[in-house]
Amino acid sequence: MVKIGLEIHGYINTHEKLFCTCKVGHGLKHALPNTNICPICTGQPGSKPLLPNKEAVKKAIQIALVLGCKVSKKMPWQRKHYSWPDLPKGFQSTMSGPHSIPNGISGNFMGIGITECHLEEDPAAWNPETGEIDYNRSGSPLIEIVTDPDFKSKEEVVDWLRNLLAVLDYIKVIDRNFGVKADVNISIGGGKRVEIKNVNSLRKISDAIDVEVDRQEKDLPKIQQTRSYDEKAGTTKLMRTKDNAQDYRFISDPDLPVLEISEEWIEKLKKSLPETPQDKLKKLIEEYKIEKKYAEMLIKKLSLVELFEKTLEKIKPEIAIPWVTIELLSVANYNKLDVDEMKIDSNHFIELLEAIQENKIIELKAKDILRKWVPNSISPSEEINNSLTISGEEVKNMAKEVILENSKAVEDYKSGKTWAINFLIGQIMKKSNKRADFKFAKKILEDLLK
Amino acid sequence: MSFLHKKLDEKDKEKIKEDVKEIVDTFGSVLSSLSDLAEEGSIERKNSFREEKKDFNNDSSFRKKMFKNSKNKNKDFIIAEKKKW
C-alpha cells in the first residue's frame, strides 16, 4: 500500500521581512536583485535580528486555525544550521526542529492529518549553475505545513493541495504568485520512506509520485533516502541516505525572545476567519440553490464568489451565474488576466446586470461594455443610456430596410438557404448599433420573409 | 599572500573535511540528545514581535558597501560557489 505525506512551503503575505524591515519581494519579478537587503537579512557579522514581524505571526496562526491545529502559545525560536551559499548566517531561524514547539500541531484538514505547521525564514535565491546569489528573498516569512502520511494516491494529493491552496487564498495569507513547493514523502508496503525534495508545481508533484512509486515497486527501498525529481529524465535521483543525512544541530536562538501568543488574540483571529470554500459551496447550493457545477466554479476564487454573492442582492441567479462564470471569466482569460487583476467594482457589475435584467440593453451590447473593463471597470451608466434597446416598431422598420437593401441574401433565404437570415439579422444589429433585440429581430424577419 | 604554514594538497584537504564533518556530527548528536535544550538559551520579553510598517527606507549605501566588499560579483549578483552540492 502506498503512503504519502507532504511538507508544503508557502510564502506568507507581508510587507516586511520576518526579522528586518526590508520589503518582501520574491526574486526578479518584483525588484532588481539584491536591492531589498540590509545587514540583518544578508547575515553580516555582528548583526542581530529585530523582533519577528507580527503580521507573519498572525498569518501563521490563521493558517494553523484553518488547518484545525492546536495553536501553541509559547514557542522558542530555533536555529537550524547548514552550510549552503543561500544561507548567509549559517543557520535558519525557524519554529521547527526536535526541540521546537511549532505554531500549530495535531490538525486535520479535509480528512488528512496535519502533524504541524510552523513559521520560518526563507533563505536567499542561489543559482548553482552560475553561483549567483539574490538576497531579496532572504529572510522572507515562510509557512511550512507538514501532513501525516495519510494520502494513498497522487490524485488524492493533488485534489487536497488544490483545496488547501484555495483555502489559504481565501484567508489571504500566502502569495499565490509563487505557487506551491513541497517535499513529498513516499513509502510502499514494507519499504523505507523516501523523501523527494523541492517539487514545485501540482503537475510535477503528481508526476514525481508516479515515477517514485513505480521505482519503489521495482526496487523496494531498504534504507531511508532523500531524492530529487528530474523532470527531463522522468526519474528521481539519490541525494543522500539516512547514513549521511544532514545534521542541522538545532539549538534555541539566543537572539530571539520566546514567542508568546495570548488566548485572546487566538480567539479574535478565530472569529475573524472568512468562510472556507467548503462553507461557501454549501451555502451556494443549499441557500442560493445554485447548481453544483457552477457553485464549484465560483468557489475556486474568493473574489469571484464574493462578487457573485454581492450581485445576488439585486440580480436573479439565472442572470448572475452566466455573467460571472462565463462572460466575466472569458474576458479575463482573453486578456490573460486573473479575475482579481481586472479590478471589477461590484456596483458597476450590478448596474450592468440590472440593465440586462430590466431589458434596457441587449446582452450583445452588455458584452461590449464588459470587454472594455480591462484593466478596471468603469461606470456603465452612460453607455447603457446610449444603448437602450429600441422599440419593436423601430426594429420592424429596420428589418424592412434591410430586406430591400439585401436582395441576394433574401433570395438565398427564400430558396432554402436558411442560414442567410443570420446575415440579415447582422445588418439589423449594425443599423441599430446593437440596440435591437436579437430574438425579436429574427422573428420579424421570418414573418416578413414568409 | 597565504597565512598557512603548510601548503595543503588534495589529500590533506580531504582529511580536514572528514575531521570537520566528524566534529560537527558528534556535536550535533550530543545536541540532539539533550532533552531540556528547548529551555536553554531562551529569553522572554514583554513583547515578542514587532508591528510592521509600509514605509520602507532601506539604506541604499549598504548595497554599495556589500558589493564593494564582495570578492566575486556579476552586475547585480554576488557570486558564491557553483554546483558543488
Shortest CA distance from A254: residue in chain B: B41
CB contact under 8 A, A53 and B42: no
Contacts of B78 in chain A (CB under 8 A): 34, 132-133, 135
Residue A28's pLDDT is what?
45
Residue A178's pLDDT is what?
66
Residue A256's pLDDT is what?
92
Contacts of B62 in chain A (CB under 8 A): 37-39
Q: What is the pLDDT of residues A123-149, one digit of tens each?
A: 999 988 899 999 999 999 999 999 999
Q: What is the pLDDT of residues A256-280, one digit of tens each?
A: 999 999 999 999 999 988 888 888 8
CB contacts < 8 A, A to B, total 138
CB contact under 8 A, B43 and A258: yes
Which of A73, A152, A141 is closest to A105 using CA atoms? A73
Mean pLDDT for the stretch of residues A188-199:
90
Q: Under CATH, which number does the domain A392-449 receive?
A: 1.10.10.410
Percent of chain A exceeding pLDDT 90 equals: 55
User: Is residue B38 predicted with pLDDT exceeding 80?
Assistant: no
Which secondary-structure segment (H or E) carries A132?
Answer: strand A132-134
Contacts of A256 in chain B (CB under 8 A): 43
Contacts of B83 in chain A (CB under 8 A): 128-129, 131
Alpha carbons within 13 A on the beta-carbon side of A364: 13
Q: How far, in Å, CA of A103 to CA of A265, rounded?
A: 14
Which is more confidently placed, B2 or A241?
A241
Exposed / middle / buried, residue A170 (Cβ in 10 Å: 0-12, 13-18, 19+):
buried
Highest mean pLDDT among A66-70, A240-244, B43-47: A66-70
Which is more confidently placed, B58 or A371?
A371
CB contact under 8 A, B49 and A128: no
Contacts of A260 in chain B (CB under 8 A): 44, 48
Q: What is the pLDDT of residues A75-104, one digit of tens each?
A: 999 999 988 889 999 999 999 988 788 999
Question: Between A131, A250, A256, which is nearest B82 by CB?
Answer: A131
User: Is residue B39 predicted with pLDDT exceeding 60?
Assistant: no
Question: Between A34, A126, A253, which is nearest B63 by CB?
Answer: A34
CB contact under 8 A, A131 and B80: yes
Q: How far, in Å, CA of A302 to CA of A153, rounded?
A: 28
User: Is residue B24 predicted with pLDDT exceeding 60?
Assistant: yes
Residue A128's pLDDT is what?
86
Residue A390's pLDDT is what?
76
Mean per-residue pLDDT of chain A: 89
Residues of chain A with CATH 1.10.10.410: 392-449
Residue A139's pLDDT is what?
95
Q: What is the pLDDT of residues A296-342, one digit of tens each?
A: 889 888 888 989 999 999 999 999 999 999 999 999 989 888 777 78
Question: Between A129, A131, A257, which is nearest B43 by CB?
Answer: A257
Exposed / middle / buried, residue A108 (Cβ in 10 Å: 0-12, 13-18, 19+):
middle
Determine the distance in angstroms separating the CA of A61 from the nearest CA of chain B, rounded to an integer: 14
Q: Which residues of B touch A (CB under 8 A)?
A: 24-25, 27-29, 31-32, 37-45, 47-54, 56-59, 62-63, 66-67, 72, 74, 76-85
Which of A398, A390, A412, A387 is closest to A444 using CA atoms? A398
CB contact under 8 A, B77 and A130: yes
CB contact under 8 A, A132 and B79: yes
DSSP string, A16-81: B-SSS-PBP--STTTS-TT-S--TTTTT-TT--PPPPBHHHHHHHHHHHHHTTPEEPSEE--EEEE
Question: Between A22, A51, A129, which is nearest B50 by CB?
Answer: A51
Q: How far, in Å, CA of A239 to CA of A196, rounded?
A: 9
Determine the distance in angstroms separating the CA of A177 from the nearest CA of chain B, rounded to an integer: 20
**Residue appearing with cell numbers 521495482:** A218
Phi/psi of residue A424, each to 5°? -65, -40
Contacts of A22 in chain B (CB under 8 A): 56, 58
Question: Between A21, A32, A44, which is nearest B56 by CB?
Answer: A21
Shortest CA distance from A83: residue in chain B: B85
Mean pLDDT for the stretch of residues A347-371:
91
Q: In one letter, which amino acid is A276? A: T
Which of A158-162, A361-365, B49-53 has the least mean pLDDT?
A: A361-365
Question: Between A22, A133, A257, which is nearest B78 by CB?
Answer: A133
CB contact under 8 A, B77 and A32: no
Mean pLDDT for the stretch of residues A423-434:
88
Residue A18's pLDDT is what?
96
Q: What is the CA radius of gyration of chain B?
A: 22
Determine the distance in angstroms separating the CA of A297 from the nearest CA of chain B, rounded to an integer: 35
User: Is residue A27 predicted with pLDDT exceeding 60?
Assistant: no
User: Is residue A202 predicted with pLDDT exceeding 70?
Assistant: yes
Mean pLDDT for the stretch of residues A141-158:
95
Contacts of A87 in chain B (CB under 8 A): none
User: Is residue A175 predicted with pLDDT exceeding 90?
Assistant: no
Residue A117's pLDDT is what?
96
Which of A42-56, A193-207, A363-377, B24-38 has the least mean pLDDT?
A: B24-38
Global pTM reads 0.74
Handedness of CA A167, A151, A250, A266 (dihedral sign): positive
Shortest CA distance from B48: residue in chain A: A259
Mean per-residue pLDDT of chain B: 79
Determine the distance in angstroms separating the CA of A23 from the nearest CA of chain B, rounded to an integer: 7
Q: Alpha carbon of B81 to those of A7, A84, A129, B67: distances in Å?
A: 28, 9, 9, 16
User: Is residue B36 predicted with pLDDT exceeding 80?
Assistant: no
User: Is residue B83 predicted with pLDDT exceeding 80?
Assistant: no
Which of A23-27, A236-240, A289-293 has the least mean pLDDT?
A: A23-27
Phi/psi of residue A448, each to 5°? -70, -30
A252 confidence band (pLDDT: 50, 70, 90): confident
- Residue A228 in contact with residue A237, Cβ under 8 Å? yes
Q: How far, in Å, CA of A234 to CA of A211, rounded?
A: 7
Residue A284's pLDDT is what?
92
CB contact under 8 A, B52 and A16: yes
- Residue A304 in contact with residue A341, Cβ under 8 Å? no
Residue B54's pLDDT is what?
72
- Residue A114 in contact with residue A106, Cβ under 8 Å? yes
